[in-house]
Amino acid sequence: MARTFQVGDTFTHVRQCDRLRPVYYAGASGDYNPIHIDPEVGKLAGFNGVILQGLCTLGWAVEAVAVFVGDPGLVRRVKVRFSRPVLPEDTVTFQGRVTAVADGRLTTEVTATNQRGEPVLRGAVVETSLG
């Protein structure tokens, strides 16, 4: 487990939002806001249909870092701004970079962009314990 991390280390994690993911995530999380499960409500809100829960996108950003450090139990903090919804059939690419390793903590900055190159998160920071 004696893995070392350095400032500047990078990692990438790619997730597909399959067509029914907002419905599955609604069931798992309890977030049944109709904008995530009823296409008519999504259209009323100005989208083509449903949108993915922002907190699912947040979870994927955390997952990107958890996979990088190898243990989800080490994650200590996440902070994100939701800049654009993820839609069914979107592919989201998370790119992370270690910005600090100090005092038993690893700090990473994570970008998340859809297949059109548009950011879906801004200012995402995930911190982990070093174990």
Partner 1 sequence: MALDPKFVGRAYGPFTYEIGREKLREFSLILGGSVPSAGTFGEPPAHVSPLLYSQEAAQAGPYGDVIAFPSFAVVFAIRPFSAAIADPELGVDRVRLVHGEQELEFLGVMRPGDVLTTTGQISELYRKAGMDFLVVTTETRNAKGEPVVRGVWTAVIRPA
101 residue type, one letter: V
Report the site for partner 1 in 74-113 (rule: CB under 8 A): 75-82
Q: CA 42, 44, 45: angle at the middle one, nearest 5?
A: 65
Per rule CB under 8 A, is residue 68 in the interface with partner 1?
Answer: no
Active site residues: 31, 36, 51, 54
Among the candidate windows 4-12, 71-79, 96-104, 106-114, which touches partner 1 by CB under 8 A? 71-79
| DSSP at 85 | -
Binds partner 1 (CB under 8 A): choice among 30, 102, 103, 117: 30
What is the spatial distance between Cα 66 and Cα 84, in angstroms, rounded to a whole number? 23
Written as one letter, the residue type at 44 is L
Binding site for partner 1 (CB under 8 A): 13, 15-16, 18, 21, 24-25, 27-31, 44-45, 54-56, 58-60, 62-63, 66-67, 70-73, 75-82
